[in-house]
A and B are shown apart, each in its own frame.
Chain A
Amino acid sequence: MKVGFNNVFGYFIEVTHTHKDKVPAEWTRKQTLTNAERYITEELKQYEEKILGAEEKILALESRLFTELVQSIVEYIQPIQLNAGLIGRLDVLLSFSDVALKNEYVRPIVNDSSVIDIRNGRHPVIEKQLPPGEKFIANDIYLDNDTQQILMITGPNMSGKSALLRQTALITLLAQTGSFVPASAATIGYVDKIFTRVGASDNISSGESTFMVEMNETASILHNLSDRSLILLDEIGRGTATYDGVSIAWAIAEYLHNHTSARAKTLFATHYHEMNEMAESLPRIRNFHVSVKELENKVLFLRKLVPGGSEHSFGIHVARMAGIPAKVVSRADEILHHLEKSRSAPGMSKKDGKKSADEMQLSFFQLDDPVLEQIREEILRVDIDNLTPMEALNKLNEIKKLLGR
């Protein structure tokens, strides 16, 4: 036999059938199981009451004492909140040092000069994502308000222009949070505003007029800039036709350069190498390009920023690599030379643009190959202002088909 407990009738005595005839008469049977009977007795019930009563009282008492304890902690809310803030602060500072150690950051000099001078700067996020063995290409960036206010950075797509812009902003921002920075040395004349605009074309799917959005956003920069602003303009004007795009980009750069009260430091990334001509007339604009090396039919992105504009567009080179027929590519080269010659005059007036278009048409009429003739017709029929990038690709495909490939 044994004493057990369940929720239905509390403590009970269980006696197996073999012994049940020995059970005293005053026990009350409560339950019969296959091989045993369960009984309760008066004595057992009395104890049960005492025990269960005690357990209930214990819980009530413990709960009251606990509540009192919590009430007394309430008085410490403010000092404990203060502790939490201080511990958080200590934790972040220690975290900064840990990151500085593990990722090889240096202490930047932050002062009230108007210079941003970053030596061997790296992109803090990208450098952590490179495949093992690959080294991040560090770059120097120098900006100030008097000699080198605007960097005009040219280079083909994929060459790392955008990453370079962002890394400059990130390093500046990190410096002003008190963190160390991914560079070999850095001097940051503190900035008060950071603006960023990326030219549209990345959200073709969204359907809205991305160019309109881009221009709205750019307008808000031009209204809010200050002498200590850092501005990143990445492919501004890309969302519209080439002529419009170059003209707008040109005018914005000019505005930033000639602003009377605020010489905002600007990094201007563009693949319009026409923009390089601005440096000739505007003294605080400097040309840089992201270097690229051509190896047979490969383009090697060196990702190194070097002074000077880029000589020519890599678009045609990329077209060749992509397998566009040689005839088309060589013709494209010819057209490019035409355009470059006709637009070489500084100032970029509308008239120049018009003239070059006339020249183009003339030269097109001199074609004699019937297939090229047909291509000419196709190209002339294209309404560039209303052409989506998708349609342009389709058109290119059609032209390719005309060549029988």
Chain B
Amino acid sequence: MKEETKSSVVETPLMKQYFAIKAKYPDAILLFRVGDFYETFGEDAIKAAGILGIVLTKRANGSASFVELAGFPHHSLDTYLPKLVRAGLRVAICDQLEDPKLTKKIVKRGVTELVTPGVSYNDKILEHKKNNFLAAYYTDGKIAGVAFIDISTGEFLVGQGNLAYAEKLLQNFNPSEVLYSRGRKKEFIEQYGARFYNYGLEEWVFQGDYSKEILLRHFGTKSLKGFGIEEMSAAVIAAGAALHYVSDTRQEQLRHISGISRIDEDKYVWLDKFTIRNLELVGSSNEQAVTLLDVLDHTLTPMGGRLLKRWVMLPLKDIASIEERQDAVNYFLHHPDFSTIIAGHLKQVGDLERLISKVALGKISPREVMQLKRSLDMVQLIKDSCGHTANAAIQIIADQLNPCSLINSRIFNELHPDAPAMVNKGGVIREGVNSELDELRSIAYHGKDYLLKFSSAKRNVPE
């Protein structure tokens, strides 16, 4: 398609721009913002129309040539994007980078976001009680390293061991996307086949020096010793590749990925992959089957749901840690009133982890900031209630909880209590925060008052 139009016919400037951008993302569906629409062209349009059930049409492209076209209004992005990603596609979102009013030539466009199954923060794509991991896999043939990043929660984990261990980790964490080195594609496919959605990265990304550098730069540290992974060369390479990929596909900051933790092989019970499958711990080949997690999950927050899944996958070997958990469970059992109070608070805690990630990504809405604030209110209440317990484990949690009062009261003072879901709806900021804003508002409101007066005054004139 592309070749033909390029060689034989003169293209419109718009299509020229489109193909130039599309050439950088050959394996992604390119959503191309044109006015109020996101359009797809050519092969992309055929695919998108099929998946989304939208009309496929043709568009003239310069002299006597046509190109397939399918599009949807820009405000429907949240509806259509998840469908494309769930269909296993990589989606590049290309926006207008300048105000069309201010330019006479064709408006500048560029890809602002690349959404792939493993790199997504969209609430419509994610499930509350499930992590959405992107994994990177690296092996030198004997030792394998695996890294997991959940961009929606900011978690970053690595593990290293033999090939079986890496396979088990991949099965445990069940990532939505696995990255591997293109040079080792054959080996990867041989071992994992189509079990995971996978994507090959260029080989140079999987190099010790590069990986270490990108990690050090991201965390702003001088070594990786603080994370306990300095010596885990394969894990570091995998971690570097994963970070490279997310910082490459997202132009925003990733400050919520603030640390990297090590999945220690010796700390947890080894459950081989057949055991995990056979015991139907968290999933089953049979859709209807009830899993252990289904029976066990009485959690009240998304964070609890995700953590429980991890605890089931990674049972402990250290007796003291197990007993510490048991003691806390026991305390709850013997203090039903206290449990009820805590449950009441927990129910009102939102997805703190994902909310704060959206802050880092610059994707949080005013209404979500309000949710964050309310969750912090609950943190304060939980801290207060847990502070008086006679249980060490719960006491430690109480001590460590940080209600962030300063920012909480700043949000309270500045944000309108009924803050809207979108900034451009107005009514985001409270009165009394900014005098200029108050003045402008009074003009707007009194202006309307004037018009009403004007309306009734004039009514008298003609009569």
Which chain A residues have a beta carbon within 8 Å of chain B's beta carbons? Answer: 1-3, 11, 13, 15, 19, 22-24, 43-44, 47, 50-51, 54-55, 57-59, 61-63, 65-66, 69-70, 72-103, 107, 110-112, 124-125, 128-129, 166, 169-170, 173-180, 190-198, 217, 220-221, 232
B317 adjacent to A81 (CB under 8 Å): no
B316 adjacent to A15 (CB under 8 Å): no
Q: Which residue of B lies closest to A175 (CB)?
A: B322
Which residue in A62, A73, A88, A99 is a CB contact (below 8 Å) of B369? A73
* Chain B residue contacts of A178, Cβ below 8 A: 311, 316, 321-322, 324-326, 329
Q: Which residue of A lies closest to B336 (CB)?
A: A101
In the complex, A157→B425 CA distance in Å?
65
A76 adjacent to B322 (CB under 8 Å): no
Known: A65-B428, A80-B352, A87-B301. 16 other contacts (CB 8 A): A55-B444, A76-B404, A80-B372, A81-B258, A89-B304, A90-B342, A93-B394, A100-B333, A166-B278, A178-B321, A178-B322, A178-B324, A180-B326, A195-B274, A196-B274, A196-B278
CB distance from B127 to the nearest CB of A (A): 16
Say whether, besides A58-B441, A196-B275, A196-B279, A92 and B307 are in contact (CB < 8 Å). yes
Q: Which residue of A lies closest to B403 (CB)?
A: A83
CB distance from A183 to the nearest CB of B (A): 14
B463 adjacent to A19 (CB under 8 Å): yes
Which residue in A47, A70, A99, A192 is a CB contact (below 8 Å) of B298? A99
In the complex, A319→B279 CA distance in Å?
30
A73 adjacent to B407 (CB under 8 Å): yes
Task: Check B80 for interface membership: any CB of A closer than 8 A.
Answer: no
CB distance from A36 to the nearest CB of B (A): 13
A sample of 14 inter-chain contacts (CB < 8 A) reads A11-B451, A13-B455, A13-B458, A55-B444, A58-B440, A61-B440, A66-B369, A69-B415, A70-B364, A90-B386, A90-B397, A93-B332, A96-B332, A196-B274
* Chain A residue contacts of B397, Cβ below 8 A: 86, 89-90
A179 adjacent to B303 (CB under 8 Å): no
B301 adjacent to A91 (CB under 8 Å): yes
Where chain B touches its partner, the secondary structure class is helix
Task: Check B256 for interface membership: any CB of A closer than 8 A.
Answer: yes
CB distance from B45 to the nearest CB of A (A): 30
A92 adjacent to B447 (CB under 8 Å): no
In the complex, A66→B366 CA distance in Å?
8
B440 adjacent to A57 (CB under 8 Å): yes
A125 adjacent to B292 (CB under 8 Å): yes
B356 adjacent to A81 (CB under 8 Å): yes
In the complex, A295→B346 CA distance in Å?
54
In the complex, A125→B281 CA distance in Å?
10
Which residue in A87, A96, A102, A217 is a CB contact (below 8 Å) of B349? A87
* Chain A residue contacts of B330, Cβ below 8 A: 97, 107
Which residue in A50, A81, A198 is a CB contact (below 8 Å) of B256? A81
* Chain B residue contacts of A50, Cβ below 8 A: 443, 447
Q: Which residue of B lies closest to A103 (CB)?
A: B295
* Chain A residue contacts of B294, Cβ below 8 A: 125
CB distance from B349 to the nearest CB of A (A): 6
B437 adjacent to A58 (CB under 8 Å): yes
CB distance from A323 to the nearest CB of B (A): 30
* Chain A residue contacts of B356, Cβ below 8 A: 73, 76-77, 80-81, 84
Say whether, besides A70-B362, A81-B353, A194 and B272 are in contact (CB < 8 Å). yes
A176 adjacent to B366 (CB under 8 Å): no
In the complex, A111→B443 CA distance in Å?
74
Task: Check B77 for interface membership: any CB of A closer than 8 A.
Answer: no
B329 adjacent to A96 (CB under 8 Å): yes
B424 adjacent to A63 (CB under 8 Å): yes
* Chain A residue contacts of B315, Cβ below 8 A: 173, 176-177
CB distance from A14 to the nearest CB of B (A): 10
B440 adjacent to A54 (CB under 8 Å): yes
Task: Check B232 for interface membership: any CB of A closer than 8 A.
Answer: no
In the complex, A92→B313 CA distance in Å?
14
CB distance from B102 to the nearest CB of A (A): 15
Q: Which of A1, A79, A176: most chain B Cβ within 10 A? A: A176
Q: Which residue of A lies closest to B346 (CB)?
A: A91
Task: Check B164 for interface membership: any CB of A closer than 8 A.
Answer: yes
Task: Check B393 for interface membership: any CB of A closer than 8 A.
Answer: yes
Which residue in B154, B280, B296, B461 is a CB contact (below 8 Å) of A22? B461
* Chain A residue contacts of B295, Cβ below 8 A: 99, 103, 124-125, 128
**CB within 8 Å: A-B pair count:** 315
CB distance from B399 to the nearest CB of A (A): 10
* Chain B residue contacts of A85, Cβ below 8 A: 303, 307
CB distance from A237 to the nearest CB of B (A): 16
B352 adjacent to A92 (CB under 8 Å): no
In the complex, A193→B429 CA distance in Å?
56
CB distance from B199 to the nearest CB of A (A): 27
Q: Which residue of A lies closest to B352 (CB)?
A: A84
Q: Which residue of B lies closest to A65 (CB)?
A: B429
* Chain B residue contacts of A78, Cβ below 8 A: 258
Q: Which residue of A lies closest to B414 (CB)?
A: A69
Say whether, besides A61-B440, A196-B274, A95 and B366 are in contact (CB < 8 Å). no
Q: Which residue of A lies closest to B280 (CB)?
A: A125
* Chain A residue contacts of B411, Cβ below 8 A: 69, 73
In the complex, A55→B441 CA distance in Å?
8
* Chain A residue contacts of B291, Cβ below 8 A: 125
* Chain B residue contacts of A47, Cβ below 8 A: 447, 450-451, 454
Say whether, besides A1-B462, A177-B316, A193-B270, A95 and B441 are in contact (CB < 8 Å). no
Say whether, besides A23-B462, A76-B407, A86 and B364 are in contact (CB < 8 Å). no
Q: Which residue of B lies closest to A108 (CB)?
A: B326
Pairs of residues from A and B, 10 with the lowest C-beta to C-beta distance, nearest first: A178-B325, A91-B304, A22-B462, A88-B303, A97-B332, A176-B315, A51-B447, A88-B307, A84-B352, A84-B353
CB distance from A178 to the nearest CB of B (A): 3
CB distance from A24 to the nearest CB of B (A): 7
In the complex, A103→B296 CA distance in Å?
10
Say whether, besides A74-B360, A86-B397, A173 and B279 are in contact (CB < 8 Å). yes
Q: Which residue of A lies closest to B455 (CB)?
A: A3
Say whether, besides A66-B428, A88-B306, A192-B269, A169 and B279 are in contact (CB < 8 Å). yes
Q: Which residue of A lies closest to B335 (CB)?
A: A97
Task: Check B202 for interface membership: any CB of A closer than 8 A.
Answer: no
* Chain A residue contacts of B78, Cβ below 8 A: none
CB distance from B216 to the nearest CB of A (A): 18
> What sequence of 0s and 1s flags, for each residue 339-352 of chain B, a beta carbon within 8 Å of any chain A beta carbon?
10011001001001
Q: Which residue of A lies closest to B459 (CB)?
A: A1
A62 adjacent to B429 (CB under 8 Å): yes
